[in-house]
Structures are given as C-alpha cells and as structure tokens.
Structure 1
Amino acid sequence: MSVLKPLIIKEFDHQEDHFRINYVQRNGRSDSCDYHFHDNYELYYLLAGQRKYFIRDRIHLVQKGDMVFIPKHDLHRTRDAGPYHERMLIYFDDAFLETIAGPGNQISPHLLQPFRNNNPVLRLQKEDRRFVDVLFYRILKELEEKPVDYQLYLKALFIELLVYVSRCTEKYVEVEVNAPLDTPTQKKISEIANYIQENYEKSLTLAYLSKQFYISTYYLSRVFKEVSGFSFVEYLNNVRIIESQRLLRETNLPIFQISEQVGFVNTTNFGRVFKQVVHLSPLQYRRMQQATN
C-alpha cells in the first residue's frame, strides 16, 4: 500500500551567512525530517495548525500563535498534532547579532532572554499576537515579492521582532504561558530523558533504565519513541555528542579522553557516531571551531 506524502502548498527559503528564514505551509501529516541540534539560535512561529515539539527533555503542544525559542545545542524535533500547519523558522547566530550591533558595540543581554527562559514556548496574548502576526506577514511578503533591498528589510523586521518578543517575555514573567504536556506517560518519558541528560557518561542501557523506572524494556523502548520521536539509542547518542562538541570547543582534552568522559566504550565507536551526527570527524570539528574563533 502506498503512503501519501504530505503536500507542501507553499515554501520559501532565504539563506545568507549567519541568518536564514524558512517558511512552509504543509497539508498532510509530517514529522520534521530528523532530530537535530545546531550552533545557532532557532525561532519557530506557528501561524496555523498544531504541532508537538520535543525540546531537550520535554514535549510541548504548540498552537497557532505560539513562538518557540531553541537555544544553541539543544536537541529538538517537531511532530504531528494535526493534518495541516503553517510555520516560519528563523535561524541566526552570534555573528549576526554582532553585525547588527556594529563594531565595538555589545548586544543587549535582554535581546536573547527568550532563549534563556526555562520554558521555551511563549503563548502571546491577543494584542501582542496581532502585532507579531503583522511582522511575520511582512516578512512573508518580502520573501514572496523580493522587492529592492528586501534582504536588508528582512533583517530589520527580524530585529524589531526580537526586541518586541524579548519585552513580552519580561511582561509575562508572572504568567504561566505554556506548560509542557503532562500526561502520566509524557511525564515519565520526560523524567527518563532528564535522567539521560544528567547521567549520559554512565553505561546506560534500556535494561538499566527499565529497572530504574520500573517499566518493562519493551514498553520503555516503544513509548520513548512514540512520545519523543527519538529511539533510546538516538537520544542517548545525541546527548553525548552535544557534550563532546562542548568539550572539543572549550577544552584541549585529547579526543580519546573526551570519548571516555561522555560515555563511549571506545574511541572508534565515538568517532563513527560523531561523524554520523555532525557530518565531521571530532578532529575536523575541533579544527573548524578553532579557525572560526
């Protein structure tokens, strides 16, 4: 039996150094192509529909008008919560912010506050949502029509957006804007994911975790995948690789020692998994980071 692929109704992608905007309107069920993490910030805005968003160790139900802030190096993935959705993704890094600030100037720490909050999902109140909707539809119009100097205007609109939502997060500080999903099963998987985040260096197996959390191995394997979108091994390996990247960037430890510290049995296996996830060897990644710093 053939499986119908989701229909992409409309899509735009604008990419330049340190800054990218991707818009898609899709009909039909779809999960994001893969789990991932990256060296830049990601801002996700849902213009229509619903999605489930797994971020680090929690799953959130994202609704129309919600904004999601993904910090650098946080593991995440979106999943279906309905047959239709329309969303915009904006990626940027510290170098982009430095070009906006200008030589010798520092970016206000408030500008990145939404990416530092414990809750990554901001549910805008009606008045703020109207304002933000206008900004996003202006961005979409620039992507569609590409008038003269549209690249510059896209950046200006994004900076206006970033300033506005950073003010919103301060204004909403006393408001519970969007709690993670908390069915018993989802809470249990979040507990397990958090345990993996805190104990990745140990020799973790499904059998070990099933004993720790009083769940059968089969049930844990199946439900972890259903809830998070990751298999247990995928999640564990990615948590370990994220930490190994930090050690490669911030220390001079030899690669074999980093491999041991993040929980891999041997350096060969570490190198294979690292390249599978990052598409570079650990040494290539370290050299690339050194060249850009």
Structure 2
Amino acid sequence: MKLVAHSKMRENIPFGKHVPMRIFRGYDRKKTMIIPHMHEAIEIIYISHGSLQIMDSSNFSILQVGEFHIFNSNDVHSTKFDGVLLKGIILQISFDLIKSLVPDAAYYKFYYSKGSEEQKKAVIQLMKSLLLKSECEKKFDFFKTYGDLMYLLNILFNDFSERISTKSVQSNQKYYKRIFKINSYIEQNYANKITLTTLSKQVHLNPEYLSRFISKNYGMSFYRYLTSVRLNHVQTLITTTDLQILQIAEQTGFANYAQFNKEFKNRFGCLPSRIRQRN
C-alpha cells in the first residue's frame, strides 16, 4: 500500500485539521514495497481486493480480502505487494489524540485476532463510513467524522485490546529508541558509504548483534534495508527532478551504475529510465 513517499523511520503523518486522523484509499498494481518504518499513530489496513504481505514487529503474515490488520503506535512495520491489483483502505489515528482520551494508552496493544466476527465487521463498516465522509466532507461534517472515530476507538479498546505490563512498556521504549537511533543515522548518511561496522560504532552495539537485531526487527538484512532507503530517495528524485539518472545513482550512495540498475529493477520491476518515461 503506497503512503506518501518517504524513507524516514518515523513517518510524519499529515492529520486532518479538525479530526487528528488520516484515511485514504489504497490502490496498487504489480510490485510495491513500503520499507520498515514507525509512527506515533495506530494504523489499520483493510484489504478489499488482492492480498498484502505484512511485517509487524518481526512477525510476518499475509492479509487477505475482507481482513484488516492493526499496527500499534511505534511498532516497526512494512508491507509488500507483488501481484496484479491491490485495493483497500488505510486509516491512521493520532496516538496523541488517543492518549488525551486514555492517559494510560501506552499500556494497551491492539490485535485483530482478539475481536469477534461481529466486531470485525463493525470496524470495517466504520472505516468505510469514515472514508466516505472524508471524500464528501461539508463544512461541519467533521462532527460526524469525530463521532464515527470515537465509536471505532470504543470498539478497539473494548474488543481488540490487551493490557501489557509496566516492564513491557519500559522494554518497548528502549526498543523504540534503539530503532530510531539506527535509522536516523542511515537516513542522514545514506548517500555516503555506510558499513555495519561504522553503524555499530554510532549506536554502540556489537556488529554481530546489530546484524541480528536488524534482520529480526526490520525483516531484512542491513544491506537490504540500506539499499531500500537509497531506492526510496532514487524514486523521489526520478519523479520530481530533471537530474540525469547517472547523477541520481551517484548522489544516493550506490557503488556503481551496474549495481544501481540491478537493485532498482529488483525493487520496481523495471529500469529507472522506464519510470522517468512514465512521469
């Protein structure tokens, strides 16, 4: 499912002016990947056509038609699609809003599997209702939107949540800081040569441990993640600038043009010149 083009680990979500949420249709064809990221929001993805591979806190699964998945705030997650057509709805709810309503919200985790079939249908209907309201909004319709959102949060807390311990909350905070530190360094230095050893020195972790940590929590190797970050920037530069493709390859940290073409085709299913022609 395509989100706004980015490669930052902590996604900056443009919430609505009156209601701190964001909802939109997901529509993808062929090969699409959103690299591992996190944000201060609960995100729900509902699939109406096709199937989507998801990674949520190192757990992998396939989201099928008629199902939705709840990504908890600040959990590292990614999605991958490699089919013909994918359709769905993506809803993101500000965690600041949730904490203002439930001060100890950090002690709750949400899981699709906990809800009954009846409550799952209710969540899907509310997502469809919120989407329609966002697409046909009149001046004061945000009051109705807020009502639907409060109803949805009520269902999530009552039927899809599980309370976790103080120890788990503290462990999660340590985990978030480590993830953020790793990705901040990669994001700031992707255009330069980065090795696992140089990164390990920056985050004060043993290289072997760091390698295992990234593989487990990002669902891919250090090299693959670094390449994915670079390719996100490549895609943005190809579609928003007139820079020559060779210049883009040089500015995004690739060792040579052959490697650049190989990795780009592996990710997007075509050469960068094809993307440039389409745009």
**What whole-Å deviation, never above 9, does each CA across 1:52-73 have from its counterpart, x for those lacking one?**
xx842x38897xxx6369xxxx
8 Å contact kept, 1:59–1:186: no
Q: Displacement of 1:202 after TM fit?
A: 1.3
Equivalent residue number for residue 36 of structure 1:
33
Q: Displacement of 1:138 after TM fit?
A: 8.4
Q: Displacement of 1:88 after TM fit?
A: 2.5
8 Å contact kept, 2:41–2:94: no
Q: Displacement of 1:79 after TM fit?
A: 4.9
> How many pairs align?
188
Residue from 56, 77, 97 that aligns with 1:78: 56
Change beyond 3 A, Cα 1:236–1:219: same
**Mapped pair 1:244 → 2:202:** no
**Which structure has the higher relative contact order (CA within 8 Å, separation 6+)?**
2
Give the letter for the 1:256 counterpart: L
**Mapped pair 1:206 → 2:178:** no
State the TM-score, normalized to the length of structure 2. 0.51
8 Å contact kept, 2:264–2:272: yes
Residue from 242, 248, 253 that aligns with 1:263: 253
Change beyond 3 A, Cα 1:280–1:84: closer
Give the letter for the 1:160 counterpart: L
Change beyond 3 A, Cα 1:239–1:88: same
Aligned structure 1 segments of 4 or more residues deviating by more than 2 angstroms: 18-21, 58-62, 66-69, 76-89, 117-123, 129-135, 156-169, 179-187
Change beyond 3 A, Cα 1:210–1:35: farther
Give the unaligned 5+ runs of structure 2: 1-24, 47-53, 70-89, 103-114, 151-156, 158-168
**Mapped pair 1:88 → 2:52:** no
**Mapped pair 1:159 → 2:131:** yes
Give aligned-pair identity as a percent. 22
Q: Displacement of 1:219 after TM fit?
A: 0.4
Change beyond 3 A, Cα 1:120–1:263: farther
Equivalent residue number for residue 104 of structure 1:
none
RMSD: 5.1
Residue from 131, 134, 138 that aligns with 2:122: 134
Change beyond 3 A, Cα 1:79–1:255: same
Change beyond 3 A, Cα 1:201–1:168: farther
**What whole-Å deviation, never above 9, does each CA across 1:26-72 have from its counterpart, x for those lacking one?**
xxxxxxxx9922xxxxxxxxxxxxxxxx842x38897xxx6369xxx
For 2:227 and 2:96, locate their aligned partners in 1 and report how far apart those are by CA, in whole Å: 23
8 Å contact kept, 1:61–1:180: no
Change beyond 3 A, Cα 1:230–1:138: same
Equivalent residue number for residue 221 of structure 2:
231
Change beyond 3 A, Cα 1:228–1:180: farther
Q: Displacement of 1:162 after TM fit?
A: 4.4
Q: Displacement of 1:218 after TM fit?
A: 0.4
The equivalences for 1:1-293 within 5 A come to: 20=27, 36-37=33-34, 55-56=36-37, 58=38, 67=44, 77-79=55-57, 87-88=67-68, 134=122, 136-137=124-125, 157=129, 159-160=131-132, 162=134, 167-168=145-146, 182-288=172-278, 290=279
For 1:122 and 1:36, locate their aligned partners in 2 and report how far apart those are by CA, in whole Å: 28
For 2:98 and 2:220, locate their aligned partners in 1 and report how far apart those are by CA, in whole Å: 24
Equivalent residue number for residue 166 of structure 2:
none
Change beyond 3 A, Cα 1:88–1:118: closer
8 Å contact kept, 1:256–1:267: yes
For 2:61 and 2:267, locate their aligned partners in 1 and report how far apart those are by CA, in whole Å: 29
8 Å contact kept, 2:55–2:61: no
8 Å contact kept, 1:259–1:267: yes
For 2:63 and 2:238, locate their aligned partners in 1 and report how far apart those are by CA, in whole Å: 38
For 1:55 and 1:119, locate their aligned partners in 2 and report how far apart those are by CA, in whole Å: 19
Give the unaligned 5+ runs of structure 1: 1-17, 22-33, 38-53, 70-75, 90-111, 140-155
For 2:41 and 2:133, locate their aligned partners in 1 and report how far apart those are by CA, in whole Å: 23
Q: Displacement of 1:78 after TM fit?
A: 2.9
Give the letter for the 1:201 counterpart: A
For 1:68 and 1:240, locate their aligned partners in 2 and report how far apart those are by CA, in whole Å: 26
8 Å contact kept, 2:196–2:222: yes
